[in-house]
């Protein structure tokens, strides 16, 4: 699922609204280890253009315990 999420985020990265929507969906479907990997990857790949979105979404997201 991690690779699928990366593919989708890359494909929708042209639109900030779609990007945020798909990022939120990805966070709901991934396990904790995959979440950490996705967060690292997102900041490496998209921080330049979507820093605010990444900060907001990752700060709001708290995985179920």
pLDDT at 54: 97
Cβ neighbors of 23 (< 8 A, separation 6 or more) are 9, 42, 53, 54, 57
pLDDT in the model for residue 61: 79
Q: What is the C-alpha separation between 21 and 12, in angstroms, rounded? A: 10
pLDDT in tens, 3-49: 999 999 999 999 999 999 999 999 999 988 899 999 999 999 999 99
pTM score: 0.88
| Among 48, 65, 63, residue whose Cα is nearest residue 24 | 63
Position 65 scores a pLDDT of 41
Q: What is the C-alpha separation between 31 and 17, in angstroms, rounded?
A: 24
Q: How many CB atoms lie within 10 A of CB 52?
A: 11
């Amino acid at each position: 699922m991690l690779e699928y999420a990366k593919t989708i985020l890359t494909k929708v990265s042209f639109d900030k609204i779609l990007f945020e929507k798909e990022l939120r969906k990805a966070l709901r479907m991934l396990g904790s280890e995959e979440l950490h990997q996705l967060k690292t990857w997102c900041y490496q790949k998209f921080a330049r253009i979507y820093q605010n979105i990444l900060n907001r979404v990752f700060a709001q997201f708290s995985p179920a315990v």
